[in-house]
Amino acid sequence: MALKDEIKLLIGKQRKFFLMRVAEVDKSVAMHMLDIKEGTYNKWVMEVVFSALYHRLHEFTMNYKQEAIQMLRRDNQLAAVMLEEHIIRKMKEEVDSGEYNLIRTNIARDVYTRLIGDLDIATVKPADTWEQKIQILMQGGSVSIPQISPPPVQIDRVIDIPVEETAEP
């Protein structure tokens, strides 16, 4: 069973806290990073589901540490995308108003540059199937047909047989 299946009942800060603990982040550091008060932590420990999982923390750390780190990274990536969306919205407001504050910062330039770069990436069209190529030819179009060359012949050994020339009768 995967870690996400094991902790599916945990949500919000409780889930992030548990993932951080599985990733071997110290309890006090995780609480500080997530702004969790001691009273909130104590309440969680009293809950049956959280308590049952938390008692198995060592087992989860041994088996799922890498998966926990990946799950935390996905959350961070989602947060970064949402932040980029907020920055773009704010930049648009500044362009509309003519009052430039955020636009002049390096972070705004980086966000804009990355987004424009992503737009310029050429999409790769999947290769046509033989049926699609035949259909194109039937409609009078042209297709590129790859040249198929025979596989190279590998000679394991050379046999030296004398060849006798004979006169034609």
Q: Which residues of 70-81 are buried (b: 16+ CB within 10 A; e: fewer)?
A: ebbeeeeeeeee
State the Cα–Cα distance between residues 2 and 63, nearest whole angstrom.
9
Domain count, the chain: 1
Does residue 163 lie within any of the structural domains? no
Does residue 161 lie within any of the structural domains? no
Domain span at residue 62 reads 3-119
Does residue 124 lie within any of the structural domains? no
State the Cα–Cα distance between residues 139 and 145, nearest whole angstrom.
16
Interval 36-83: pLDDT, tens? 999 999 999 999 999 999 999 999 999 999 999 998 888 888 888 888
Does residue 86 lie within any of the structural domains? yes
**pLDDT at residue 45, rounded to an integer:** 92
**pLDDT at residue 18, rounded to an integer:** 93
Does residue 131 lie within any of the structural domains? no
What H or E segment, with its residue span, contains residue 59?
helix 57-97
Does residue 79 lie within any of the structural domains? yes
Does residue 57 lie within any of the structural domains? yes
Asked if 41 and 31 count as a contact pair (C-beta separation under 8 A), the reply is yes
Asked if 11 and 5 count as a contact pair (C-beta separation under 8 A), the reply is no
pTM exceeds cut of 0.75: no
Interval 137-157: pLDDT, tens? 777 766 565 566 666 666 566
User: Crossing angle for the helix pair 12-22 and 57-97, nearest 10 degrees?
Assistant: 120
Question: In terms of residues, how long is the chain?
Answer: 169
Does residue 133 lie within any of the structural domains? no
